[in-house]
Structure 1
Amino acid sequence: MTYHSSKRKWRSEKLSQLGSSIFSEVAIWKGEAIQSGLDVINLGIGSPDQAPAFEIREALSAAVLRADSYSYPSSKGSFAFRKQAAAWMLKRFGVEVDAEEELVALMGSQDGLAHLALAICNPGDIAIVPDPGYPIYSGSLAIAGVKPWHLPLLAENEFLPDLDSIPENVWREAAFILLNFPGNPISTEVDLAFFVKLISLARKWDVLVVHDLAYSEMGFDGYRPLSILQVPEAIDTAVEFHSFSKSFNMAGCRIGFMTGNREAIGALRELKSNIDYGVFDPIQEAAIVALELAMEAGAEQGVAPLYERRRDAFVEALAQEGWMVPVPKATMFIWAPLPEGFSNHSGTGSSRDFARDLLLKTGVVVIPGDAFGAQGEGFVRIALVEEEVRLVEAAKRIGRYLRGEMIGPFFII
């Protein structure tokens, strides 16, 4: 058989705009480090290292074994799941939503984030997204042909977005503004007054507010993240994403939901009805149990205490090694400026140089900040997804690296 090479490139130009290239590079570096014999401590991808509560796994197991669990689920989610999600919103935030018209189940919040622009925008529309921001924020716009207007999150503003800096012509043309508090990669916190101002501006310019609240259950030091729907009548102007991945250690289950403005909910439901058949019913049943446990137990029994301990152990260990990093008030991430003097001993001193050199010489994986946008240069994101003893070990390796005591898999004695 004769094979002919095609001149056509079987690859969409949009793929180059999705922001996954750096993550692919990091995976290659990790492979090189393992091949060289290094013990890798992976603080890169924010994938929880803990299992869901036993009751959640038990519910999933029982549902999987039932013979009637294998028909097509509903793309909008079972009513039982949506009803429980609405009950949790009321218990957790004091927010009342209509489970029938104001809530849709998702295959993880990224499912909704990836498809929302396709559902509510037209090609050529503008959307306001944060920089730095989670890659799918901009990637979803590329898929939908929507133009991003990047709202910079700057250290001098404590990484809070300056809403007054958004030009009137951008407000006038924007279809939606997307923000997340606490966020990924930056765990900035806001008070209700900020949300009130945001909703007021959105109403003035008829812009939908999209709030990604994937880390709602990961606040520290007494801080409990707020829902934007706590602003009176915000539901007329906003939607909010919630995820089970981080809050309940159910990342592999792929389940979340979007709630809020019923028109936007309806648009996403309609799009998804043409794309998928929804979340596997047993996973929805397990998620119902997760929400029930959360409503019974309260914040002190959730995942936050674990990550707060890890944060404290790691930040303290890094400080002992001479690298002072900001102490986040929430999430599983540390957004750290590059150590002073890094450029003196490796490359140009970029975030990517630092992340690659650190990994190949110490086995510690971090994500370079430019993975999250132009404003991320000069920072790295560190995920607290290892046990405390491993985090302390990572800090010690980083310290030796910064002192020039570590070359490849070997220490200089």
Structure 2
Amino acid sequence: MSLAPRSESPRVLVWNQYFPPDTSATASLLAQLVDRFEVQGVGTHVVQGNPSYRPTRTFKWKPWELWRRGQDGTVVHSAARSRARLIDRALNYLTYTALSFLVALRTRCDVILVMTDPPIAVVPAVLVGKLRRKRVVYWLQDYHPEFMVGIGRIRPWPLVRVWSWAHRWALRRCDLVIAIGRDMRDRLETAGVRSDHIEVVANGSSVDWSSEAASRTRVSGADKLVVLHAGEIGMRGAWEALVAGARDAADVASLVLLGDGVDADWVRELTAGSDAVTIEPRLPWLEYTRRLLDADVLITMVRRGAEGYSVPSKTYELFGCARPIIVIADPSSEPARLVTELDCGFVVSPDDGHEFAAALRALAADPGLRERLGANALKAKDAFRRDDQLDRVVALVTNS
């Protein structure tokens, strides 16, 4: 895509419900992007909602205020109910969407950067862009509602079809859509988005691995491989294949699931009665990174039907660990493409556990193979530094 430089930096309206003190992945990612805008002298105004995603602090609600000035922009007084129930999450989304639309209509800006919290945010963003003749850049993290339909969590009811139509309508009217994987780009092109209006930028890794730490050998008396999946136990994972393969290869490997999420209780039921799989609670960041380095093999997953609609950004963090990576996903998914191109692991089927078990046995039998694949992974870590990826986003937003 040809991008002509502008004579001056625009002011960017950043439109996303989650932003610190929320602790979601998109909140953290967006905070880092705002920092990169600041480093490059670009002004931003963040329109965020009331903290509702495991926030580190909350704002005092005043019933006579619809919004208030925040440190980085405007905090709208949207509902901040628990995300555990779908109806409460929908209330959070709808109140944020309505109030943020009003704020966006009156906030000075040159370009609108919208993300996917809530999943319908791009629709009002495009409407504001048309009304105010502002450029709209959509930084697409998760592709809804197609993701939920693709994995079978919701059916294509009439309301869902209307949502899908509205999303496609907005996608085709954005000045630029930033996809976080090549498989997502393929989905966008299938949906009718012009290829010259799409750019692929990985989320990358913000972990500052040192070569010495990442190259260390785990010291343990265990005679089995330690296989680790660290992160959300959520809807994107191919949990049936993972657990079935771990049970099959229990004589050579022990699987640890580190984290929590909406599917955690169901996964505990899958693993009941087996000592092949251990589920451990979420850890503070420093301990989490140490646990990655203590494993022999690392896992990332995309369940069947989710490829191109959701891209696990934790894949990029795994490269710096110098460990073989097993991707449980369709070969067309972005993690599978990366691991294949970099020759740093195995890609196995998300439909059953046989290929996963075979990969574990191959790695357990060949320490030299583990070392070679891990070394190849380590070589890739600098190609996906998050600051470099975010600087690309800044350039696309300010020059689009």
Q: TM-score, normalised by structure 1?
A: 0.32
Q: Which has the higher helix share?
A: 1
Q: TM-score, normalised by structure 2?
A: 0.33
